[in-house]
Amino acid sequence: MFARRLDLLMEITSTKASSLGKACSIDASYVSRLRRGDRALPKKPSFLTAMSTYLAKQIKEEWQQKSICEALHISGDWEDFESNMPELILNWLISSENSFSQVEPMLMFFSNSSKQQQTCKFKAVSLPPLEQYYYGKEGKQLAVLQFFSKILREDKPRTIYLFSDEDTSWMFENPVFTAQWSKMFIEVLKRGNKVKIVHTINRNIHEMIEAVAKWTPIYMTGMVEPYYYPKIRDGLFQRTLFLARGTAAIVSSSVKGDTNRMLNELITDSDAIDALLIEFQNYFSLCLPLMQILTPGNIDKLLEIHNLLAESSSDMICLTNGPTIQTMPEYVADSIQKRFPNSHIKKIWDSLSSSWKLAIESCKYIEILPSYKVDMPKCVPLNSAVILGDSNICYTRDEYIMHYDYLKKLQSKYPNYKPLYQDTNPKPLLPNLLLFAKENVGVVLSKTDSPAISFVFNDPNLTTAYWEYLSSLVIQLSNRQN
């Protein structure tokens, strides 16, 4: 991946290995080997900063600017990010190296998120009298607890608006406070309050995955809409805006991440809060969704997304804890529908099966699933039963066998379909996850046990990371089975 990206940058900028090597103080032959992929990027590539700076300076023509923007998935006027181009190129090159390595911890975190919520029992926190001014990290922590406490005392739920690009160590460095604010936040959401949050992500894939992982327990409530600002900011002046209309607001500012002794103001005046909401909305209008979060109540929307992904002309990989509905034979779908008349499984099968079969006429579809088990019980749980709204939906043993047998017929009929079975997977398959990815298009990550929830990504960096993760599994399994 690094080699392909370096090659593209050198091609666009007409850069020779000798020139780049001289700028980076490395041998030209070493640059050539990196470009061809003959040498892997070292763990601590000290030359990358100089390399990115040199390549950025070679982008002079309008066609070069356009090509680089397309490669880095940047939109907007060149002048807006020209000064940050060395950093953008550096992050792009770094994120290409094993960006998928951070995906697996994220999947494990997502898989265990229901357990985290079950242990998250709310108990009211005793707080001192409300003040207007709070100082430093400890002051911000107390202001946040006061902010959530005021929301919990309201009679009606409301929308909460959150943004901060300040140093976030105040949230996680004190485990006692972290437990307090996260439990209080989840309780706020359980009471019907909704949240629109703008994450600070500078187009670095590691930051994006970390943001998703840290906020997963909050996302699991289904009450949060996450967004991000897609362009680079200079990071000199930083700001925090936490707002709840008619209740309270927290405002703070800092310079270059130094929040020591900085002022945090807790505002309760309604006019002042309304003025700050205008500021938030002005910034929010420039932001993009980080992902869609869908609960079982959004099954129609989830089906629509799966069908849209299937219609796009690119290859597919699915990591699943059991055979999928789209590969189910119609007679099995009919049989399950008769036993569970309120399940709508036949309607779902009609939708997914038709779009999927049309897709594999021209695109490859690889399914990673468990090997058939001989000693299955009489009633075998359907892997997506909870997502479909009924945890009781299951196969009979005969239906389960017929589904696995049908996969062989599909593989024979459709050359683009390839099931890969796992006995001892090099990356242990998580029993409650379903991960579906379309190359360069999007990803659907679903937790299939209760509480079921699905995350839908179409950000190019996140999509690439998940695709590379799945591709690495395919390679390892294919090598074992050949």
Per-residue pLDDT of the chain (482 residues; tens, 9 = 90+): 688 889 889 999 999 999 999 999 999 999 998 888 888 777 678 898 899 999 999 999 989 888 888 777 665 677 767 877 887 888 778 765 555 556 776 787 777 766 555 445 667 778 889 999 999 999 999 999 999 999 999 999 999 999 998 888 888 778 788 888 888 998 999 999 999 999 887 645 666 676 677 777 788 888 999 998 877 776 788 999 999 999 999 999 999 888 889 999 999 999 999 999 999 999 999 998 888 988 887 888 888 898 888 888 899 999 998 899 999 999 999 999 999 988 888 988 998 988 998 999 999 999 999 887 767 778 888 888 877 767 788 999 999 999 999 999 999 999 999 999 886 444 446 778 899 999 989 999 998 888 888 999 888 878 888 898 898 888 878 766 65
Q: Given this chain, do its domains 2-97 and 105-290 carry the same CATH topology? A: no
CATH architecture of 105-290: 2-Layer Sandwich (3.30)
Structural tokens at position 174: 């004190």
The top-level CATH class assigned to 294-481 is: alpha beta
| Residue 326 in tokens | 């789209």
- Asked if residue 255 lies in contact with residue 239, where contact means CB atoms within 8 angstroms, the answer is no
Quote the Cα angle for 288-308-461, to 5°. Answer: 40
Q: How many CB atoms lie within 10 A of CB 52?
A: 22
Apex 33 CA angle, 32 and 37, nearest 5: 120
Distance CA 24, CA 257 (A): 30
User: CA-CA distance, 254 to 235, in Å (whole number)?
Assistant: 10
Q: List Cα–Cα distances, 283 to 208, 266, 324, 369, 402, in angstroms.
A: 19, 21, 41, 43, 54
The pLDDT value recorded for residue 178 is 82
Place of tokens 């804890």: 321
pLDDT of residue 110: 78
Largest interatomic CA distance in the chain: 72
pLDDT at 429: 60
Output the CA–CA distances (angstroms, integers) from residue 347 to 34, 173, 218, 343, in the order listed. Answer: 52, 49, 32, 9
Q: What is the pTM of this model?
A: 0.72
User: In this structure, which amino acid lies at residue 229?
Assistant: Y
Sorted by where each begins, the domain ranges of the chain are: 2-97, 105-290, 294-481
Please give the pLDDT value at position 66: 85
Q: Are 25 and 120 spatial neighbours (Cβ–Cβ below 8 Å)?
A: no
The CATH code of the domain at 2-97 is 1.10.260
Report the distance separating Cα 476 and Cα 36, nearest Å: 23
Chain position carrying tokens 């909401």 = 277
pLDDT of residue 148: 95
pLDDT for the residue 425: 45
**Distance of CA 378 to CAs 114, 346, 375, Å?**
28, 22, 9
Partnered with residue 225 across adjacent β-strands are 196
Three-state SS annotation for the chain: CHHHHHHHHHHHCCCCHHHHHHHHCCCHHHHHHHHHCCCCCCCCCCCHHHHHHHHHHCCCCHHHHHHHHHHHCCCCCHHHHHHHHHHHHHHHHHHCCCHHHHHHHHHHHHHCHHHHHHCCCCCCCCCCCCCCEEEHHHHHHHHHHHHHHHHHCCCCCCEEEEEECCCCHHHHCCHHHHHHHHHHHHHHHHCCCEEEEEECCCCCHHHHHHHHHHHHHHHCCCCEEEEECCCCCCCCEEEEEEEECCCEEEEEEEECCECCCCEEEEECCHHHHHHHHHHHHHHHCCCEECCEEECHHHHHHHHHHHHHHHHCCCCEEEECCCCCHHHCCHHHHHHHHHHCCCCCHHHHHHHHHHHHHHHCCCCCEEEEEECCCCCCCCEEECCCCCCCCCCCCEEEHHHHHHHHHHHHHHHHHCCCEEEEEECCCCCCCCCCEEEEEECCCEEEEEECCCCCEEEEECCHHHHHHHHHHHHHHHHHHHHHHC
The pLDDT of residue 73? 63
